[in-house]
Amino acid sequence: MNTKKITVIGLLALLAGAFFFGVTSYQKGVQTAQDKQNRVEQSRLVRMHSPVFGPANAPVTIVEFFDPACETCRAFYPIVKDLLAQYPTEVRLVIRYAPLHKGSDVVVKLLEASKRQGKYQAVLEAVLEAQPAWADHGQPNVMLAFQAAAQTGLNITLALEDAQRPEMEALLQQDIADLTALKVSKTPTFFVNGRSLPSFGPDQLASLVAEEVAKLGR
Amino acid sequence: MYAMKTGWPWLMAAWLLALLSTLGALFLGEVMGMTPCLLCWYQRIAMFPLALILGMAAFGDDRRGAFYALPLALIGTGLAAYHNALIVGWVPSWWIPCGEGPSCSQQSLVVFQSIQIPWLSLLAFTAITLLLTVFLRKTRS
């Protein structure tokens, strides 16, 4: 090893270290700002109309900004379901809609309409299951999502009629207004009792939930 | 000293600039989540390999590394110059249908208060080109 090689390796290590430090402190800053925003805009996290999984009065609330056409939301569905099963009395999941993709708004309204027939979860799971077929980001084919929903025994004619109700549009607009105010730009975005994830990932979500559950002191 | 005589510090400086620019671009794009515009992408394509090629060249004190890197630096300089000219308005902007990506000419990306990122890009590419030219001249056998 001559001086040149050592210099190159040393400088590389130095810059890599500086980069890593920059990334960490930037993400920390973003997280702090988000958490502060969430405290200010607390009422925007959960709305009366928002679908809830798990006990309604659970002390720990996971808020998920969700897009039925988003692949990562689909991948996270079983993960979040497992978390709910792990803490059956402590944790609830509140779904907020973030229709960031083309066609998502139509599917969101279908989901909300299926709630009126008591088939919300079944339709949600069917739509997520069929997502690769209908949710092409360039050319979504919502008809395929409707077909998947109909498979669950949903009265699709009635559901599509219900989806036209003005309150569905109002609900969607409210969620969009909330996600804009909370500066949510990606799906899924999770908040656990208003706190954001330090960085995105299933483990980070699980440990944040565990932290909030541990705070209950049970 | 041998290193001073071969002009190795010039090569090292060029690599350091390329590495800094690469990390900076990665930070803006991947960490801060700014979507690079089309011209920014082309400049990234020229800059990222420079960090690797010049790194290997500086590590092994290999003159050919600078020789291979020079075309990338020149292409980058050209792209960055065009990008800046576009922003200043020296060249007519080309009209492309609006898509989801950010616009190249109406960009509002500034760092450190008022420094435009394409301007930094031009500076880095020009400096790397100059440093490599000096290095190649000094080491001509």
3-class secondary structure per residue, A161-215: HHHCCHHHHHHHHHHHHHHHHCCCCCCCEEEECCEECCCCCHHHHHHHHHHHHHH
Domains and CATH numbers, chain B: 2-93+105-138 (1.20.1550)
What per-residue confidence (pLDDT) applies to B118? 86
Least CB-CB distance to B61: which of A4, A19, A23?
A4
Contacts of B99 (CB under 8 A, 6+ apart): none
Within 13 Å of residue B9, how many CA atoms lie on the same side as its CB?
A: 5
At B116, the pLDDT band (50, 70, 90 cuts) reads: confident
What per-residue confidence (pLDDT) applies to A199? 84
Minimal-distance CA residue of chain A relative to B9: A4
Return the sign of the alpha-carbon dihedral for residues B5, B8, B10, B13. Answer: negative
Residues of B in contact with A4 (CB under 8 A): 3, 8, 12, 58-59, 61
CA–chain centroid gap for B137, Å, is 21
Judge: A26–B32 Cβ closer than 8 Å, yes or no.
yes
What does the DSSP assignment read for B31-94?
IS-PPP-HHHHHHHHHHHHHHHHHHHHHHHT-HHHHHHHHHHHHHHHHHHHHHHHHHHTSSPPP
At B103, the pLDDT band (50, 70, 90 cuts) reads: low
Which has the higher per-residue pLDDT, B32 or A12? A12
Return the sign of the alpha-carbon dihedral for residues B52, B57, B58, B64. Answer: negative
Q: Which of B138, B141, B115, B140 is nearest to B14 (CA)?
A: B138
What per-residue confidence (pLDDT) applies to B3? 46
**Amino acid found at B35:** T
* Entry pTM: 0.75
B91/chain A closest Cα distance in angstroms: 33
Give yes or no for A23 touching B (CB within 8 A): yes
What SS3 class is residue A62? Answer: strand
Q: Decide if pLDDT at B1 tops 80.
A: no
Give yes or no for B19 touching A (CB within 8 A): yes
Q: Decide if pLDDT at B85 tops 70.
A: yes
Strand stretches in chain A, DSSP E: 52-53, 60-66, 91-97, 189-192, 195-196
B61/chain A closest Cα distance in angstroms: 8
Tokens of A166: 């003005």
Return residues 72-131 of B near A (CB < 8 Å). Answer: none
Average pLDDT over chain B reads 84
Return residues 173-212 of A near B (CB < 8 Å). Answer: 185
At B59, the pLDDT band (50, 70, 90 cuts) reads: very high
ipTM over 0.90: no
CA–chain centroid gap for A95, Å, is 7
Give yes or no for B28 touching A (CB within 8 A): no
Tokens of A151: 């498979």
H/E segment holding residue A129: helix A120-129
Buried b (16+ CB within 10 A) or exposed e, B30-44: eeeebebbebbebbb
Q: Decide if pLDDT at B134 tops 80.
A: yes
H/E segment holding residue B115: strand B115-116
What per-residue confidence (pLDDT) applies to A186? 85
Give yes or no for A214 touching B (CB within 8 A): no
Give yes or no for B24 touching A (CB within 8 A): no
**Cβ atoms A23, B31 nearer than 8 A:** yes
- Number of A–B residue contacts, CB under 8 Å: 36
Task: Using the structure block, give the residue that is written with the tokens 């998920």.
Answer: A64
Judge: A3–B16 Cβ closer than 8 Å, yes or no.
no
What per-residue confidence (pLDDT) applies to A37? 86
Contacts of A41 (CB under 8 A, 6+ apart): A178, A181, A182
Tokens of A212: 């909030």
Per-residue pLDDT of chain A (218 residues), as tens digits, is 688 899 999 999 999 999 999 999 998 998 898 888 888 888 888 888 899 999 988 999 999 999 998 889 999 999 999 999 999 999 999 999 998 888 889 999 999 999 989 999 999 999 999 999 888 877 888 889 898 998 898 888 898 999 899 999 999 999 999 988 888 888 899 999 999 988 889 999 999 999 999 998 76
Q: Decide if pLDDT at B113 tops 70.
A: no
Q: Which of A171, A169, A211 is nearest to A192 (CA)?
A: A211
Minimal-distance CA residue of chain A relative to B56: A8
Which has the higher per-residue pLDDT, B118 or B68? B68
Q: Decide if pLDDT at B102 tops 70.
A: no
Residues of B in contact with A101 (CB under 8 A): none
Q: Decide if pLDDT at B30 tops 60.
A: yes
